[in-house]
Structure 1
Amino acid sequence: MPRPRASRLDPERRQTLLAVAAEEFAEHGFDGASYNRILERAGFSKGVAYYYFEGKDDLYAAVLALTLDTLAQRFGAWHRPADADGFWRTLRERYFALTTHIVNDERSARLLRSMSQARTHPKLQAAWLRFEGPLVAWFQRVLADGRALGAVRGDVPESLLLTSLMGIGQVTDGWLLEQWAHSGVPALQRGAEQVFSLFEDLLVPRPVGPPPAKRR
């Protein structure tokens, strides 16, 4: 992570550095991005940059934090809806607000694509674990509220639902962004509808009825 003294970096210079870094990582991914090129374009010497950041890994973590903070604002704080219909309506609105953000901001889409590919990068594991914590907590609250409202199934452990939800989310995030990269916005929008239906299939309560007859 950035050194503690990074907070004392002039806000305008910090904004310039992070904007240039975001563009570089969006264009080339983590491995292909050039730390030297970022510093040159942002007007930083190596000595000054290393005073505030330990290297490319730390700078990437700062860009990651800023990007995920923007996404968190798109999702917004979660407040329990009044009923099950309101739960699914709210969750759908939050999910497709993210899709709209990607459609309207190509750089963010390219950056998110590079980040989805970097999730398993050995140099970035620690950064992902730090930033996924708040996301996991957000979904824990959503699932708990959904169960209380009868909008989320209660026949399997909540921990299993959460693990499944996060796993599907990680895989489909990358898939959606690949659809966008190769086939454009319509493919992304179609894919988002399909992905959301997967979430519904996973979470919506199953109808209560007699158990299936045993085979003889």
Structure 2
Amino acid sequence: MAAEEFAEHGFDGASYNRILERAGFSKGVAYYYFESKDDLYAAVMGEMLDALARRFGAWEAPARAEAFWRTLRERYFAAVAFVMEDARSARLLRGLSQARSHPKLQDTWGRFEGPLVAWFQRVLEDGREVGAVRGDVPETLLLASLMGIGQATDGWLLEQWAGRGAAALEEGAEQVFSLFEDLLSPRPARKPAARKR
């Protein structure tokens, strides 16, 4: 019931009292489990993100560059399929993408951001090991760029889905994955500049 309320109204529009009424709980009982609406929201998001992580699958270090990109693509589009098949989770993810900048939800976002950053850091390290990820820029810069693009494109993709439906989400996902490939793929070695005589 809480998930439906947050999916339909977002964090700000969701009513804690309406959630309790629909669940048949008194405030006293609810506060035994959740300190506040923020705490309940974090629990709902945690469950949804756990389901998404199960769909995404565990990351295993690939043996070759082509296996890296194939595996990363499979994982990414498994997550896209999860969103396309579950409109409630898509709406919750859309709300979570806005939570990054919400003053009341900084703690909630922080709970999820740490593991997400660690996962991407491992992916980058494994990609560099097999020559699938560029090594000409510091890993910290690459990770920061990847997270920044990821945050921007998550919101953009979910807006495409909300405004134009699943086909737009799928098309947009192809474009987003292409951006990731362009950012991460190794660059050909530059030829030294010719000296002037």
What is the rounded CA distance, in whole Å, between the counterparts of 1:185 and 1:212 in structure 2?
48
Aligned to 1:91: 72
Aligned to 1:179: 160
Q: Superposed, which structure 2 residues align to 1:190-205 within 5 Å? A: 190-205=171-186
The alpha-carbon distance between structure 1 residues 106 and 214, as it changes in their structure 2 partners (threshold 3 A), is farther
Q: State the Cα deviation string for residues 145-196 of structure 1 (Å, max 9, x = none).
A: 0001000000000011111111111110010000000000111011000000
The alignment yields a C-alpha RMSD, in angstroms, of 1.4
Aligned to 1:65: 46
CA contact (8 A) 2:5 2:19 kept: yes
Shift of 1:132: 1.2
Aligned to 1:155: 136
For 1:51, the aligned partner's letter is Y
The alpha-carbon distance between structure 1 residues 214 and 133, as it changes in their structure 2 partners (threshold 3 A), is farther
For 1:115, the aligned partner's letter is L
What is the rounded CA distance, in whole Å, between the counterparts of 2:8 and 2:142 in structure 1?
35
Kindly indicate whether residue 184 of structure 2 is the aligned counterpart of residue 206 of structure 1.
Answer: no
What is the rounded CA distance, in whole Å, between the counterparts of 1:134 and 1:78 in structure 2?
13
Q: State the Cα deviation string for residues 79-112 of structure 1 (Å, max 9, x = none).
A: 1111000000000000000111111111111111
Shift of 1:214: 8.7
Aligned length: 196
For 2:17, the aligned partner's letter is N
Q: State the Cα deviation string for residues 37-61 of structure 1 (Å, max 9, x = none).
A: 0000011101100111111010001
State the secondary structure of the residue aligned to 2:35. Answer: coil
State the secondary structure of the residue aligned to 2:189. Answer: coil
Decide which of 36, 49, 52 is 2:30's aligned counterpart. 49
What is the rounded CA distance, in whole Å, between the counterparts of 1:73 and 1:177 in structure 2?
20
Shift of 1:211: 3.8
Decide which of 94, 113, 120 is 2:94's aligned counterpart. 113
Aligned to 2:15: 34
What is the rounded CA distance, in whole Å, between the counterparts of 1:212 and 1:152 in structure 2?
25
What is the rounded CA distance, in whole Å, between the counterparts of 1:44 and 1:80 in structure 2?
46
* Alignment gaps of 5+ in structure 1: 1-19
State the secondary structure of the residue aligned to 1:156. Answer: coil
For 2:111, the aligned partner's letter is R
Q: Which runs of 4+ in 1 moved over 3 A?
A: 211-215
